[in-house]
Chains A and B, each alone.
Chain A
């Protein structure tokens, strides 16, 4: 069975550029989560959706970050403009239901902002 699919796997771009990260959750999962992982801060939840609706975006660092889920099979995380401190690994995860079901993670996008 296909797991959570993220693209691209790696992204290197210059500061000031727009970055778009993509995620396809597991079919049938109703909740989708975006995380950021760094050596300094570990794994941080940025935002999550239930049934395509954003529920909690309190982890989004600044207005430069935005996330959408136009349908049940696709989500994007956008950074505009990007800054070097945004460099991290970004993970998408999905679950049948938020809170009491396992979240299944993709393999992440390693983002480097020069």
Chain B
């Protein structure tokens, strides 16, 4: 029979618009969170991280927001470009030495 893989949610945005990718994390003890970008044929690439003593952190064109009350993490990408098209993963540490990765969101940027 046909194998069923993980169903990745997809976010489609127009070039130049802002993108918001959301992630619900599972462990309230997590104190470190991180976003990765994975392009086809490549390994996950570190984008930005945030610790639990912060609510917001900004990088170049990216912002991560952390809401510990509802265990929610988001990645905002300003002025989305075609090169931003990829799968984006959030990860939490569960207050351990390991990272627990989400299933990912596919971002598609169209002209």
Binding site for B on A (CB under 8 A): 4, 31, 38-43, 45, 48, 50, 55-56, 91, 93, 98-100, 102-108
Sample of 11 more A-B contacts, CB < 8 Å, known A38-B5, A39-B6, A99-B98: A39-B5, A42-B101, A48-B98, A50-B97, A55-B97, A98-B98, A100-B51, A102-B49, A105-B45, A107-B43, A108-B42
Query: Would A42 and B45 count as touching, CB distance under 8 A?
Result: no
Query: Would B51 and A43 count as touching, CB distance under 8 A?
Result: no
Q: Which residues of chain A are near B98, meaning CB under 8 Å?
A: 45, 48, 56, 98-99
Contact (A108, B43) CB under 8 Å given A40-B5, A99-B32: yes
Query: Would B41 and A43 count as touching, CB distance under 8 A?
Result: no
Which residues from 91 to 106 on chain B have a C-beta closer than 8 Å to any C-beta of chain A?
93, 96-99, 101, 103-104
Partner of B99, one of A4, A38, A91, A103: A103
Query: Would B46 and A40 count as touching, CB distance under 8 A?
Result: no
Give the CA-CA distance A40 to B36 in the complex, in Å. Answer: 19
Give the CA-CA distance A101 to B61 in the complex, in Å. Answer: 21
Partner of A31, one of B41, B49, B97: B97
Give the CA-CA distance A41 to B89 in the complex, in Å. Answer: 14
Give the CA-CA distance A107 to B101 in the complex, in Å. Answer: 17
Task: Say whether B3 faces chain A, with CB atoms less than 8 Å apart.
Answer: yes
Query: Would B97 and A56 count as touching, CB distance under 8 A?
Result: yes
Among residues of B, the one whose C-beta sits closest to the C-beta of A98 is B97
Query: Would A43 and B89 count as touching, CB distance under 8 A?
Result: yes
Closest chain-A Cβ to B6's Cβ sits at a distance in Å of 5
Query: Would B96 and A42 count as touching, CB distance under 8 A?
Result: no
- Which of A40, A42, A43, A93 has the most chain B CB within a 10 Å cutoff? A43
Task: Say whether B84 faces chain A, with CB atoms less than 8 Å apart.
Answer: no
